[in-house]
């Protein structure tokens, strides 16, 4: 892939491509491109990003790896039945779902396969899948995005699945985004390869609900000189994430980012922790509750409680589209290394950057300015002429 190639079409290779988040990503891009739904929640569809020459939604081609074999159209129907996708949307975009499903390849490794293929063999196979996807579809580039279920933090030298996929992205010459708390490109064994690759990368762990509020409330307490004594929370969720986070090791990996936001914004770690409960009946919906005990003037004791009830996939999907578009454009312009300006989207962002949401947003807008094309290169900005395959109603 050449960073100078014309970005007529851009690949988005999803790890966990048949999961709820990935299915919502594909469905959302198709719905907005067809003009069936507005771009609510899509930050890159707002004015600060209009002239940044991001790849249009209509130019995105989806594929990915997954260990599941449930076709995307069927998965979308299940999400519509659960209220995650609008009624009737799966049938309206059946062609787009089917096209993306044809580009999904078997993932791994499978623990039951003994002896299974070695790490390098798996990395090579995954990279070959990505290379084939880019070549067959005539893509200018592809961004690999991990949206698979959370895995426990690695304890030995062996690369966990998320890191095998991240290594494959590097080998295929693709920018990488880790939307999960899993190790991915964070594994120490991949540090040298990531640095030497010259590729941009971002992560980790998408900031969609409870931690989003913490990134706003933490700075508020600090700026008003209020003393936070304790900050406890609870998450009730079902679906694949609920089952994965029932594993204490996976839950610990998830909570590390939530706690880091408080430490970075308050300057100290208050008492309390977050408990995660798997409630299968909730499906893709989750409830996050926080109890904040703080002292005011003259030591007056007060409490703030918040309740966040939301649909995880609907919160995450527009962020994944934002990240794919921004990272693809960063790659096109020659940026490399950790994209710290994308910390706005993550609980535990790579690189150096602020932890408060307002400051992170300003850094993100600054990146949008950096990504604007030089008028001398003749590149049309995102609100310029649409590509030939664009459809009416595409969000810009």
CATH class of domain segment(s) 10-206+313-377? alpha beta
pLDDT at 390 over 70: no
Which CATH code for domain 210-311?
3.30.360.10
Report the pLDDT value the prediction gives residue 172, as an integer from 0 to 100.
Answer: 98
Farthest-apart Cα atoms in the chain, separation: 68
**Residue 291 in contact with residue 303, Cβ under 8 Å?**
yes
Report the pLDDT value the prediction gives residue 311, as an integer from 0 to 100.
Answer: 93
Split at pLDDT 50, 70, 90, the class of 374 is confident
d(CA 11, CA 59): 8
Contact residues for 23 (Cβ-Cβ < 8 A; gap 6+) = 72, 75, 76, 79, 97, 313
Q: Tell me which of 24-28, 137-141, 209-213, 313-317 is least confident.
A: 209-213
Report the pLDDT value the prediction gives residue 384, as an integer from 0 to 100.
Answer: 35
pLDDT at 32 over 80: yes
Report the pLDDT value the prediction gives residue 110, as an integer from 0 to 100.
Answer: 64
**Residue 177 in contact with residue 143, Cβ under 8 Å?**
yes
Six-digit token string for 331: 């790659």
| C-alpha torsion sign, points 43, 214, 281, 279 | positive
Q: Tell me which of 275-279, 319-323, 357-361, 390-394 is least confident.
A: 390-394
Average pLDDT over residues 25-52: 97
d(CA 396, CA 389): 15
Which of 93-107, 154-168, 373-387 is the most confident on average? Answer: 93-107
Contact residues for 378 (Cβ-Cβ < 8 A; gap 6+) = none
Angle in degrees, CA 262, 338, 320, rounded to 5: 75
Burial bucket for residue 304 (CB in 10 Å: 0-12, 13-18, 19+):
middle
Domain ranges, ordered by start, for the chain: 10-206+313-377, 210-311
Burial bucket for residue 277 (CB in 10 Å: 0-12, 13-18, 19+):
middle
Question: pLDDT for 131-157, tens place per residue?
Answer: 999 999 999 999 999 999 989 888 888
Question: pLDDT for 214-251, tens place per residue?
Answer: 999 999 999 999 999 999 999 998 876 666 666 666 65
Report the pLDDT value the prediction gives residue 254, as an integer from 0 to 100.
Answer: 59
Secondary structure string (H, E, C) spanning 204-261 = CCECCCHHHHHHHHHHHHHHCCCEEEEEEEEEEECHHHHHHCCCHHHHHHHHHHHHHH
pLDDT at 208 over 60: yes
E strands within the chain? 10-15, 60-66, 104-106, 141-146, 176-178, 200-203, 227-237, 274-278, 285-295, 301-311, 337-338
- Mean pLDDT across the chain: 89
Report the pLDDT value the prediction gives residue 8, as an integer from 0 to 100.
Answer: 80
Report the pLDDT value the prediction gives residue 328, as an integer from 0 to 100.
Answer: 98
Contact residues for 362 (Cβ-Cβ < 8 A; gap 6+) = none
Question: pLDDT for 159-198, tens place per residue?
Answer: 999 999 999 999 999 999 999 999 999 999 999 999 999 9
Split at pLDDT 50, 70, 90, the class of 293 is very high
Report the pLDDT value the prediction gives residue 259, as an integer from 0 to 100.
Answer: 81
CA distance readout (Å), 12 to 59, 62, 327? 10, 5, 10
Report the pLDDT value the prediction gives residue 111, as an integer from 0 to 100.
Answer: 58
**Residue 170 in contact with residue 197, Cβ under 8 Å?**
yes
Question: pLDDT for 103-120, tens place per residue?
Answer: 999 998 865 555 678 999
| C-alpha torsion sign, points 155, 176, 202, 250 | negative
Question: pLDDT for 314-333, tens place per residue?
Answer: 999 999 999 999 999 999 99
**Residue 144 in contact with residue 10, Cβ under 8 Å?**
no
Report the pLDDT value the prediction gives residue 394, as an integer from 0 to 100.
Answer: 34
Question: What is the value of pTM for the model shown?
Answer: 0.89
């Amino acid at each position: 892939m050449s960073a100078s190639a014309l970005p007529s079409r851009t690949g988005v290779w999803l790890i966990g491509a048949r999961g709820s988040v990935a299915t919502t990503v594909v469905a959302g891009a198709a719905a907005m491109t067809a003009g069936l739904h507005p771009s609510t929640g899509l930050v890159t569809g707002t004015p600060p990003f209009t002239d940044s020459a991001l790849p249009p939604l209509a130019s995105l081609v989806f594929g990915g790896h997954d260990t599941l074999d449930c076709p995307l159209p069927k998965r979308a129907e299940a999400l519509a039945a659960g209220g995650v996708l609008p009624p009737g949307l799966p049938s309206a975009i059946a062609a787009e779902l089917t096209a993306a499903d044809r580009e999904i390849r078997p993932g791994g490794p499978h623990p039951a396969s003994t002896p299974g293929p070695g790490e390098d063999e798996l990395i090579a196979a995954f990279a070959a899948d990505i290379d084939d996807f880019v070549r067959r579809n005539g893509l200018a580039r592809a961004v690999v995005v991990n949206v698979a279920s959370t895995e426990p933090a690695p304890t030995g030298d062996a690369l966990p699945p998320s890191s095998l996929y991240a290594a494959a992205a590097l080998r295929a010459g693709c920018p990488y985004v880790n939307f999960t708390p899993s190790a991915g490109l964070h594994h120490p064994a991949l540090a040298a390869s990531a640095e030497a690759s010259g590729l941009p990368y971002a992560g980790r762990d998408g900031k969609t609900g409870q931690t989003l509020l913490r990134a706003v409330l933490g700075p508020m307490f600090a700026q008003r000189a209020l003393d936070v004594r304790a900050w406890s929370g609870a998450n009730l969720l079902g679906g694949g994430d609920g089952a994965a986070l029932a594993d204490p090791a996976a839950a610990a990996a998830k909570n590390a980012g939530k706690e880091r936001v408080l430490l970075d914004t308050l300057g100290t770690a208050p008492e309390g922790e977050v408990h995660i409960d798997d409630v299968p009946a909730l499906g893709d919906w989750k409830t996050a509750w926080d109890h904040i005990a703080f002292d005011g003037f003259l030591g007056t004791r007060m409490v703030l409680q918040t309740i966040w009830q939301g649909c995880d996939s609907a919160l995450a999907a527009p962020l994944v589209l934002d990240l794919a578009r921004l990272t693809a454009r960063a790659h096109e312009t020659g940026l490399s290394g950790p994209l710290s300006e994308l910390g706005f989207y993550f609980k535990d962002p790579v690189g150096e950057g602020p932890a408060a949401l307002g400051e992170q947003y300003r850094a993100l807008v600054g990146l949008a300015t950096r990504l604007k094309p030089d008028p001398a290169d003749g590149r049309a900005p995102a609100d310029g002429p649409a590509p030939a395959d664009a459809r009416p109603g595409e969000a810009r």
